[in-house]
Amino acid sequence: MPYIIVLMTTSTKQEATNIVKVLLKERLIACANIVDSVSSFFWWQDKIEQEKEVLVIMKSQQDLFEKLSKKVQELHSY
């Protein structure tokens, strides 16, 4: 069974922790690492912006990705 690494950013460490706990309880991920305070750069309203975010690195199985993605969309603030 192929394994995947899924990356996600959140605005706070608490949000990252809450999402990871749900994903673990539902066995949608095997494990996760939370990396506090990364610099994210992105386009917003025709300008390049920079924000501090929290990076989440998740390990899962490829066949769980659709369920994992839907659950993250339900729980994530943006």
| 11, amino acid identity | S
Structure tokens belonging to residue 74: 């339900």
Domain 3-75, second-level architecture: 2-Layer Sandwich (3.30)
Domains in the chain: boundaries: 3-75
Q: Which residues pair with 18 in a beta bridge?
A: none
Q: What is the pTM of this model?
A: 0.92
The Cα 76–Cα 64 span in angstroms is 18
> Which residues contact residue 56 at a Cβ distance below 8 angstroms, ignoring those fewer than 6 apart?
7, 8, 9, 10, 16, 19, 20, 32, 33, 34, 35
Alpha helices (H) along 1-78: 13-25, 65-75
pLDDT averaged over every residue in the chain: 97
1 confidence band (pLDDT: 50, 70, 90) = confident
> Using one digit for the tens of pLDDT, what is the confidence trace for 26-35?
999 999 999 9
